Structures are given as structure tokens and as C-alpha cells.
Amino acid sequence: MEDSKHPDFIKAFYLKRGFSTRALHAGEHFGQPHTPAHVNPIYQTSTFVFSSAEEGAKAFAGQDDAYIYTRLGNPTVKVTEAKLNALEGAGVKLANRDIRVSTLAFSSGMAAITASLLACAKAGDEILLGNVVYGATESLAYNVLNNLGIKAFDVDVANLEAVQKAIGEHPKAKAIFFETPMNPTLALADIAAVAKIVRQVNPNIVVIVDNTFSTPYLQRPLELGADVVVHSATKYLSGHGTVVGGLVTTTLDWVKDELYKLIKNMGSSPGPFDAWLINQGLKTLAIRMEKHCSNAMAVAKYLSTHPKVSHVYYPGLENHPQHELAKKQMKHFGGMLSFELVGGLEAGRKLMNTIEVFTLAVSLGCVDSLIQHPASMTHACVPQDKRLKGGISDGLVRVSVGIEDEQDLIDALDKALAVV
Ligand SMILES: Cc1ncc(COP(=O)(O)O)c(C=O)c1O
């Protein structure tokens, strides 16, 4: 008879199941045998008890996988890691059973990004950074890593010739990091094509994709050839605006080992309750993403015909310059969009100050709709000339479309646009 607790059985079980079944069941367990809770319990504890001094010594010597101390590992955190691993990595395992996929959880998306870059690059190395990324990622590269001797260089990742050139010009580069779709311009990078160029020109470069905007439900970078996927779990993965967290999934064992070393020694692990909230959010990811995407498409179409809107940036619109790429590498087109008003920044401010239903706040991927102004908020730390070069104009307004009733979102925009 098959042993249902054996890791190989569990792996095979999940690989055969669909996305939502994996999102609901992967990693779950029913707690202790004598207290079999249906929903896995929160191990809200900083440390774990050894049954004897000998057991404690064995745990520290790495001779068994006993829990020691929550910074080093916690059962609640492990459930979340196992679940994202089954979502982000399942297709990769199916394609090549020799590849092992690992996921590690962090206290924030920025902790996850910092660890991914530090895992790959040391003092004297270089990194290539997508020219449009979240403001703090840009600031991390140029204001923090720079001081540690890791030099960053911008590359226009939407342009494959520019990617090829940058990789050729930077033999010391150890990683290329980019977002797709990019925050906040919604430009795309062709993950498979970038990974192919890296393999051909300099296979020592690790391809890291920030998949926060898409989630594994819409796009799976590892299946497309990336080596590492990072997430701000603060966003769609947790989904309800209740937690700050991060996750990294990788096909490279040495990257996983470096990441764990960083978690252990820098202390960037998440708290058990935060990990539990992310795990709960992951269970409903698929149905939330379906609604985020259909609402965003409706909002994008409505805005693109409005006379006071000069441009809408949404990969689902046929006039998006990378619409065909979006169709190829994403399941749907996501819940994020940006737009510019005919009246520029002033009109945008008026809209944000008047609009109902949409909440004026940064962050994204919450069940409710959020609106914000990248140039003065999420990307204020990016120098203006760089912002403008990347397409982040002073008038750009970014919307994270929630899962409210579609008509209520359109009515709210209609009413606000009438007064700008
Ligand atoms: C694309 C992207 N990556 C990373 C982050 C950072 O995540 P966190 O705020 O969880 O540290 C953000 C935050 O907005 C983001 O939008």
C-alpha cells in the first residue's frame, strides 16, 4: 500500500491536481494527532521544546529536522512555503522531474528581494535591474547594495536588444532582476526570451522575476526559464490588506541555501501569524484573480473611451504595445492598470480626492480597489529624470482594481471624472 505521508506520495498527489486544489490543500496538515484542527494551527511561539539535551544537540547538529527556534523555522511558516511551492513550481517539476523547487518565506517583499540579490551577488559583482521597478527596489539597488560594493545597472527589459547588449557589456553581472508587468507602467518583459539570452550570453547570471503583479495563477516565470521568483505576499497572495510578507521560489539549490543562510543570520523570517494570513489568502487566489482581471478589463475599456482620459496602460487592451506577449505569457491580464488624464497631474489629484468606492492608498492586490499617484507616492524615491525616461509621468494615476461589483467601479469613475 502507498504511504500517504511519504514525501514522494505527497509530491505526486499535488502534481496531479489543479491550481485551486493545490491552493487549498498543499502543505495543509491537521495539527497534532490529539488536537486535529481542520485549519492548520498557528504555532505562535518563538521557541520549541526539546525532549532531552541529546535531542536538542541533534537538532542543532542538523541530524534531524526538529524545530528549534522560529527565526530558523516554524511549522506555520512551512505550510505557506509548501503551498506557494506547489503553485509556483508544480509545472516546472512536471517538465523536468530532476529539478527541485524550493520556497522560502520572508517578513516583507523587500526582505525577499534583498535576500535574492544578496544570494547571487557579492562585493565586486554587478547586477542588472529592470529600468522600471517598484521604488524601494530601485532604492535598494542604488542606495544600499551600492554601498556594499554591488553595482547596479539599469536595463530596458522590454527591449531584447538592450538586454543582449547589457549582458554582453557586464561580464561581472551575477543577476538580472525585473518585474513583468512593471510597476506602475504595465510594460512587459518577455521572460522566456530574456532567460534564453542569458543562457546564450552568460549562463552565470541568475534570472530573477518579481511576479507580484501576476501571481502564479496568471504567470509562472520558472516554467518560462527564470531561476528565481520573488513576491511581495503583501499584495495578491494574501489578498486582504492585512499583512506584509514576502516569498521566494527557486529552482537553484545553491540559491535556496544562500537564502536560508540570510534568513537565519539577518533575521528576515516572517511571524507565524503573518505566514498563516498569507496561507489563508492563497486558498482563494484563483477566484479572486479571475474577478480582479475581469473587473480591470472592464475598467480599462471604460477609461479608454472616456474623453477626459488621454491614455490607459493595461496589457489586456489591444492597443497595448505588448498585448500579444501578454496573451502568450499570462493567463489573463491582471488587476493593475494606470492612466493619464487630459488635465495632467492637477486633474489626477482632483480625481483621487473626489472618487468614491476606490480608496486613496498605496499597496495593491487587495480585495478592494485602491488608487494612488506613483510620482509622488510609490515611486517618489526614483529620480525624476529616470522616472520620466521609464514612462512614469507626473500625471500617471495607478489603480489596483478590486473585486467589487464591476458597475459600481465604473459608476464611481464616471462620477469622479465628471468633476475633474
Ligand atoms: C512589484 C513590487 N515588488 C515588491 C514590493 C515590496 O513589497 P513589500 O511592501 O511587501 O516589502 C512592492 C510593494 O509595493 C511591489 O509593488
Q: Are residues 250 and 318 in the same domain?
A: no
Residue-wise pLDDT for 357-405, tens only, equals: 999 999 999 999 999 999 999 998 889 998 999 999 988 999 999 999 9
Domain membership flag for residue 137? yes
Domain membership flag for residue 62? no
Structure confidence at residue 2 (pLDDT): 53
CB 312 within 8 A of CB 304: yes
Task: Give dist(CA 13, CA 188) in Å, integer.
Answer: 34
Q: Are residues 359 and 295 in the same domain?
A: yes
**C-alpha closest to that of 132 among 408, 406, 391:** 391
Task: Give dist(CA 204, CA 111) in Å, integer.
Answer: 23
Q: Are residues 331 and 207 in the same domain?
A: no
Domain membership flag for residue 67? no
Q: Are residues 302 and 275 in the same domain?
A: no
Q: Are residues 107 and 204 in the same domain?
A: yes
**C-alpha closest to that of 250 among 108, 104, 379:** 104
pLDDT in tens, the chain (420 residues): 455 555 566 666 677 789 999 999 988 887 788 888 999 999 999 999 999 999 999 999 999 889 999 999 999 999 999 999 999 987 786 666 667 899 999 999 999 999 999 999 999 999 999 999 999 999 999 999 999 999 999 999 999 999 999 999 999 999 999 999 999 999 999 999 999 999 999 999 999 999 999 999 999 999 999 999 999 999 999 999 999 999 999 999 999 999 999 999 999 999 999 999 999 999 999 999 999 999 999 999 999 999 999 999 999 999 999 999 999 999 999 999 999 999 999 999 999 999 999 999 999 999 999 999 999 999 988 899 989 999 999 889 999 999 999 999 999 999 999 999
The residue out of 283, 308, 329 marking a domain boundary is 283
In the chain, how many domains are there?
2
Q: Identity (one letter) of the amino acid at 266? A: M
Q: How many CB atoms lie within 10 A of CB 302?
A: 18
Q: Are residues 296 and 269 in the same domain?
A: no
The residue out of 262, 283, 304 marking a domain boundary is 283
Query: By percentage, how much of the chain surpasses pLDDT 90?
Result: 86
Q: Are residues 309 and 257 in the same domain?
A: no
Q: Are residues 248 and 324 in the same domain?
A: no
Q: Ligand 1: residues within 6 Å at CB?
A: 108-110, 134, 136, 179, 183, 210, 212, 232, 234, 244, 246
Domain membership flag for residue 56? no
Query: What is the extent of the structural domain holding 182?
Result: 7-41+73-283
Q: Are residues 308 and 166 in the same domain?
A: no
| This prediction's pTM | 0.96
Query: 98: domain CATH number?
Result: 3.40.640.10
Q: Are residues 210 and 236 in the same domain?
A: yes
Give the active site residues.
71, 134, 210, 235
Task: Give dist(CA 205, CA 218) in Å, integer.
Answer: 25
Pocket test for ligand 1, best of 219, 228, 235 (most atoms within 8 A of CB): 235
Residue-wise pLDDT for 103-150, tens only, equals: 999 999 999 999 999 999 999 999 999 999 999 999 999 999 999 999
Domain membership flag for residue 61? no
Nearest C-alpha to atom 14 of ligand 1 is from which residue? Answer: 363
